[in-house]
Amino acid sequence: MAGTRDRIIDASAELFRRNGYTGTGLKQIVAEAKAPFGSIYHFFPGGKEQLGGEVIRSSGAMYLQLFTAVMDAAPDTLTGVHDFFAGAAETLIETDYADACPIATVALEVASTNEPLRQATAEVFGSWIDAGTERLTRDGIPHAEARRLVISLLAGLEGAFVLARALRSTEPVEVAGATAVASVREALSSGHGP
């Protein structure tokens, strides 16, 4: 069984995805984590803000590992991009549209009001952009073009999550995924890549 600190982080991540940062209280977190209230301040002396930063960073690392696993399992980059968007749509259906990206949820809520959490979300998004850029440059796409493409794909996915949750439909994620695959295909066929 996970230790108390890990249970608090996991419970917080789940609650932030579903309720947002400001919509999640410390009492909810400890109840969900089955932890004593004092354990929050024991493990996170900076309180909810410190906990939020750690949740953002750990969730970001987990999603980066997921991206890497999906891309590594695919026979080629185009299939990997398709599979990543398809997996996102599947997760929305399985969770009744409750689970989207916790990083974007927190970024939208606090980016203009909480500098430490804005910085944490920026670090995560930056790590995703760097990893995606490196992946596409391995296929022969020039660095600047690969970075632009990854930012576009990430913006499409995050925007699709917002629309999908509001519409209660995976159509936005499917459209964003098809657009992403077409963009990567075009970059690969324009003389770059295999």
Average pLDDT (57-80) is 95
Alpha helix ranges (H) inside 74-142: 77-94, 102-110, 115-138
Let me know: does 103 contact 60? Beta carbons within 8 Å. yes
Q: For the whole model, what pTM was predicted?
A: 0.88
Total domains, the chain? 1
Let me know: does 57 contact 123? Beta carbons within 8 Å. yes
Average pLDDT (40-59) is 94
Instruction: Tell me what pLDDT residue 170 has.
Output: 97
Instruction: Tell me what pLDDT residue 191 has.
Output: 60
Task: Classify residue 109: in a domain, yes or no.
Answer: yes
Task: Classify residue 87: in a domain, yes or no.
Answer: yes
Average pLDDT (81-106) is 89
> Cα separation of 141 and 155, whole Å?
19
In this model, does residue 190 exceed pLDDT 70? yes
Task: Classify residue 157: in a domain, yes or no.
Answer: yes
Task: Classify residue 3: in a domain, yes or no.
Answer: no
Average pLDDT (66-83) is 96
Instruction: Tell me what pLDDT residue 17 has.
Output: 83
Tokens representing 32 are 């969900």
In this model, does residue 171 exceed pLDDT 60? yes
Instruction: Tell me what pLDDT residue 192 has.
Output: 53
Task: Classify residue 59: in a domain, yes or no.
Answer: yes
Mean confidence (pLDDT) of the chain: 92
Task: Classify residue 164: in a domain, yes or no.
Answer: yes
Instruction: Tell me what pLDDT residue 19 has.
Output: 86
Average pLDDT (79-104) is 90
At 61, which CATH number? Answer: 1.10.357.10
Tokens representing 13 are 């991540």
